[in-house]
């Protein structure tokens, strides 16, 4: 399973680097497009005890009556946090109308002890649209929002 995940991650990275998706800026201009695109925002928001973080994304998919779906996975290791921590989002749906949409994904860490902390983490995201797909990965900063 880890080999498959690493292979998928390396494949996504090999595709994303030349295109510039890792810059965190969506390539869509707001016009209708024929391909799906996805980017991860640089900062994520830390929530309460560290079991939940919120990751921002920008997604676009070709016009379809069906929505696209996004899955996000985040990993954080020491020294950013005390123990290895990772979590996944629930499936997030996105309107496929050819426009770029800002989307938020909530990442859950099921561990009671240990959790995400403020600092760097690695996020991967996969976007499946009725027509096309996209994936991306990048280092993000988990920040505590003033409350």
> With contact defined as beta carbons under 8 Å apart, do 46 and 118 qualify?
yes
Which residue range forms the structural domain that includes residue 23?
A: 2-142
Domain count across the chain: 1
Q: Do the domain assignments include residue 50?
A: yes
> With contact defined as beta carbons under 8 Å apart, do 91 and 106 qualify?
no
pLDDT of residue 37: 96
Q: Do the domain assignments include residue 22?
A: yes
Record the pTM: 0.74
Nearest to 57 by CA among 110, 109, 100, 14: 100
pLDDT of residue 147: 60
Q: Do the domain assignments include residue 96?
A: yes
* All residues at 6 or more sequence positions from 101 whose CB lies less than 8 Å from its CB, including other chains: 58, 59, 60, 94, 95
Q: Do the domain assignments include residue 147?
A: no
Q: Do the domain assignments include residue 31?
A: yes
Name residue 49's beta-bridge partners: none
Name the helix (H) or strand (E) containing 8: helix 2-19
Report the CATH number that the domain containing residue 63 is assigned in CATH. 2.60.40
Torsion angle defined by CA atoms of residues 103, 39, 117 and 49, in that order, rounded to the nearest 10 degrees: 10
Q: Which ranges of the chain have pLDDT less than 50?
A: 1-32
Q: Do the domain assignments include residue 12?
A: yes
């Amino acid at each position: 399973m880890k080999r498959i995940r690493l292979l998928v991650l390396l494949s996504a990275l090999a595709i994303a680097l030349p295109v510039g998706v890792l810059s965190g800026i969506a390539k869509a201009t707001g016009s209708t497009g024929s391909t799906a695109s996805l980017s991860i925002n640089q900062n994520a928001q830390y929530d309460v005890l560290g079991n939940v973080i919120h990751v921002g994304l920008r997604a676009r998919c070709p016009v379809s009556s069906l929505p696209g779906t996004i899955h996000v996975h985040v990993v954080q290791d020491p020294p950013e946090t005390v123990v290895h921590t990772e979590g996944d989002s629930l499936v997030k749906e996105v309107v496929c109308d050819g426009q770029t949409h800002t989307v938020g994904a909530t990442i859950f860490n099921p561990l009671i002890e240990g959790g995400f902390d403020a600092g760097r983490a690695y996020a991967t995201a996969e976007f499946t649209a009725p027509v096309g797909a996209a994936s991306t990965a990048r280092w993000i900063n988990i920040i505590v929002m003033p409350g």
